[in-house]
C-alpha cells in the first residue's frame, strides 16, 4: 500500500472514530438533558399539587419558570409524543414532545389539567462548535501531511528516470525536512557517481589509446622483420592484443549504455565458427556437435564475443584444454572437464573476482552481453563436467 493510501485510510478511520465519539457524546448530552427535565418537572408538579394560587395568577409564575400555559390542552395532547409518565396518589404527570419542544401535562385531582409548554431549549451550539473545531483540526492536519509528502511523488519519478539511465536528473530540493534532506543527499551522491563514471570513461579511453599507439608501432616494426616465422608469431600476438582492446571497448560501452545494437538474422553456426576463430588457438580445441541448428536475431559482434569468452574460459580451466559445444533447439551448451565453480556463481560474474578460482573479465562480459541481448545463462555441474547453457527466447 502506498504511503498516500495509508494516510487516507488513517484519515478516514479517525474521521469515523471522531464522528462516532461525537454521536455518543450527543446521545449522552440528550440523556443528561432529559434527566435534568425530569428533576425540573418534578418540582413543577410538586408546586402545582401544593399551591392554592388560582390559574390566572399562575401564568406569571410559570412564565418566570420558563413555561407557558397552553389553553387547548386536550386537543394538543392527542398529537404529542409521550416521553415519560409518572403517576401518584394525587396527580398524573406526562412529559410530551413535539419536535424539539417539550410539554408538561399535569392532571391533579379535582382540578382542570395543565398543559405547560417548556420555553427553554436544549442548545447544541457548543457541541457543534467543538465538533467543527475537531474535524477542522483533523482535516487540516491531513492536508498538511499530504502536502508535506507531495515531494515524494516527484522524488519517485526522478528515481525512475535515474533507473532508466538518465544521469542528468536533479534531486535538489529546498527545505529542511527529512524528504528535502534525503533528496539533497541523493543529489550529492549522484554528482559523485557521475564524477566516478566520467573518470572511469576518461581512464579507459586513455588506457586504450595508450595501448593502441605502441601496438601500431609494433606492427610496423614487425613488418620489417626478415624472419617470416617470427613475423607470423608476432602478428598473432598483436592481433590478440588488438582484439582484447576492442573487447574492453565493447564492455565499457555496454556498462555505460552507449553501445548501439545492430540486430540482424544469423545462423548460429556462423556465430560459433567466428567465436572459435577469435580464440586464435594453434590446435583444434573446440568440438562442435550440431543437433538442431537455428536462426538467431541478434547483434553478431556481441554474440560472437559472448561465445568466445565462454569458450575461452572453458578451455583455460579444463585439464585437457578442450571444450565441447552442443547446438540444440534455441539453446547452445558449452561443456568442459574440470572442477566445479565453488561458492556463489554470481561472484564469478564480477570483473577480476579476487577468488583463486576467478574467471577474469570473461564472465563479466558474458553477463552484460546476456542482459543486453535478453539471453538466459544457466550453469550446472555433473560427473566432473561444467555445463554452461545459453538459452534464446
pLDDT digits (tens, 9 = 90+) for 5-32: 888 888 899 999 999 998 898 888 888 8
Q: Which of 53-62, 174-183, 196-205, 322-331 has the highest mean pLDDT?
A: 322-331
> What residues contact residue 393 under an 8 Å CB cut-off, 6+ apart?
330, 374, 375, 376
Provide the percentage of residues in the chain whose pLDDT is more than 70.
Answer: 90
The kind and range of the H/E element at 341 are: none
pLDDT attached to residue 376: 92
pLDDT exceeds cutoff 70 at 349: no
On the question of pLDDT at 323 being above 90, the answer is yes
Q: Over the chain, what is the mean pLDDT?
A: 81
pLDDT at 248 over 80: no
Contacts 24+ apart (CB under 8 A), 129-138: 131/22, 134/18, 134/22, 135/15, 135/18, 138/11, 138/14, 138/15, 138/18
Question: Is 273's pLDDT higher than 80?
Answer: yes
Cell of 336: 568442459
Q: Is the pLDDT of residue 154 over 80?
A: yes
pLDDT over threshold 80, residue 377: yes
Give the whole-angstrom CA distance, residue 247 versus residue 263: 19
pLDDT category at 268 given cuts 50, 70, 90 is very high
Asked whether the predicted pLDDT for residue 232 surpasses 90, the reply is: no
Q: How confident is the model at residue 265 (pLDDT cuts 50, 70, 90)?
A: very high
What's the whole-number mean pLDDT along residues 195-217? 74
pLDDT, residue 348, reads 56
Is pLDDT of 359 > 50? no
User: Is residue 371 over pLDDT 50?
Assistant: yes
Q: How far is CA 252 from CA 161, 224, 256, in A?
A: 21, 34, 6
Label residue 344 by pLDDT band (50, 70, 90). low
pLDDT higher than threshold 90 for residue 307: yes
Cα distance between residue 272 and residue 267, in whole Å:
9
With a cut of 60, say whether residue 217 has pLDDT above it: yes
**Which are the contacts of 46, defined by CB distance < 8 A and separation ≥ 6?**
none
| Choice between 206 and 388, residue whose per-residue pLDDT is larger | 388
267-291: average pLDDT: 86
pLDDT at 355: 47
Amino acid at each position: 500500500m502506498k504511503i498516500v493510501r495509508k494516510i487516507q485510510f488513517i484519515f478516514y478511520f479517525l474521521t469515523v472514530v471522531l464522528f462516532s465519539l461525537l454521536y455518543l457524546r450527543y446521545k449522552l448530552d440528550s440523556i443528561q438533558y432529559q434527566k435534568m427535565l425530569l428533576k425540573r418537572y418534578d418540582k413543577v408538579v410538586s408546586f402545582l399539587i401544593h399551591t392554592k394560587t388560582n390559574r390566572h395568577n399562575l401564568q406569571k409564575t410559570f412564565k418566570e419558570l420558563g413555561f407557558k400555559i397552553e389553553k387547548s390542552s386536550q386537543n394538543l395532547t392527542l398529537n404529542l409524543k409521550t416521553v415519560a409518565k409518572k403517576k401518584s396518589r394525587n396527580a398524573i404527570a406526562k412529559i410530551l414532545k413535539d419536535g424539539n419542544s417539550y410539554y408538561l401535562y399535569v392532571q391533579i385531582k379535582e382540578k382542570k389539567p395543565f398543559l405547560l409548554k417548556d420555553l427553554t431549549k436544549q442548545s447544541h451550539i457548543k457541541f457543534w462548535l467543538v465538533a467543527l473545531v475537531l474535524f477542522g483540526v483533523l482535516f487540516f492536519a491531513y492536508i498538511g501531511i499530504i502536502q508535506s509528502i507531495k515531494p515524494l511523488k516527484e522524488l519517485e519519478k526522478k528515481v525512475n528516470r535515474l533507473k532508466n539511465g538518465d544521469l542528468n536528473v536533479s534531486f535538489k530540493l529546498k527545505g529542511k525536512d527529512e524528504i528535502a534532506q534525503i533528496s539533497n543527499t541523493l543529489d550529492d551522491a549522484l554528482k559523485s557517481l557521475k564524477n566516478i563514471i566520467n573518470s572511469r570513461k576518461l581512464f579507459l579511453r586513455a588506457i586504450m589509446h595508450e595501448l593502441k599507439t605502441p601496438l601500431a608501432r609494433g606492427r610496423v616494426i614487425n613488418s620489417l622483420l626478415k624472419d617470416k616465422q617470427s613475423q607470423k608469431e608476432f602478428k598473432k600476438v598483436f592481433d590478440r592484443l588488438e582484439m582484447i582492446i576492442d573487447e574492453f571497448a565493447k564492455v565499457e560501452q555496454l556498462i555505460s549504455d552507449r553501445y548501439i545494437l545492430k540486430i540482424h538474422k544469423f545462423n548460429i553456426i556462423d556465430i560459433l565458427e567466428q567465436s572459435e576463430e577469435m580464440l586464435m588457438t594453434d590446435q583444434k580445441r573446440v568440438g562442435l556437435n550440431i543437433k538442431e541448428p537455428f536462426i538467431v536475431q541478434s547483434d553478431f559482434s556481441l554474440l560472437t564475443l559472448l561465445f568466445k569468452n565462454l569458450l575461452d574460459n572453458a578451455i583455460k580451466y579444463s585439464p585437457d584444454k578442450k571444450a565441447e559445444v552442443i547446438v540444440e533447439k534455441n539453446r547452445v551448451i558449452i561443456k568442459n572437464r574440470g572442477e566445479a565453480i565453488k561458492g556463489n556463481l554470481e561472484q564469478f560474474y564480477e570483473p577480476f573476482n579476487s577468488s583463486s578460482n576467478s574467471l577474469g573479465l570473461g564472465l563479466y562480459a558474458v553477463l552484460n552481453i546476456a542482459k543486453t541481448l535478453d539471453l538466459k545463462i544457466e550453469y550446472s555441474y555433473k560427473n566432473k563436467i561444467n555445463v554452461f547453457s545459453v538459452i534464446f527466447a
